[in-house]
Amino acid sequence: GIQVEQSPPDLILQEGANSTLRCNFSDSVNNLQWFHQNPWGQLINLFYIPSGTKQNGRLSATTVATERYSLLYISSSQTTDSGVYFCAVEGGAQKLVFGQGTRLTINP
């Protein structure tokens, strides 16, 4: 099946810093989504982005499907951005498969 690799596994930053999270996938995909899991465990959908670029406030995402990667940018980080960020992809198998996540810690 399709493999999803996220990097870095862990990232520790000071409040106000910018960050870039990466998601690589092993095959062509028809669907890619980014999620944030807060410290209480709730998963929130950030972006539905099978291709192209989207922005939502301080967050933006870009997927380059032909090169099999997606990037999530967080600007001017806040402590509430802490948590685990997951990307999930769906290819020919038609089910959404998750990467192992990037754990982001924003210190005040």
Binding residue count for other proteins, defined by CB under 8 A: 22
**SS3 assignment, position 100:** coil
- The answer to whether 43 touches 36, Cβ cutoff 8 Å, is yes
25 binds other proteins (CB under 8 A): no
Stretch that binds other proteins, among 12-20, 29-37, 55-63, 70-78 (CB under 8 A): 29-37
Stretch that binds other proteins, among 18-26, 56-64, 67-75, 91-99 (CB under 8 A): 91-99
> 105 vs 10, 51, 63, 92, CA distance in Å?
8, 28, 24, 34
Residues binding other proteins (CB under 8 A): 30-31, 33, 35, 41-45, 48, 86, 88, 90, 93-101
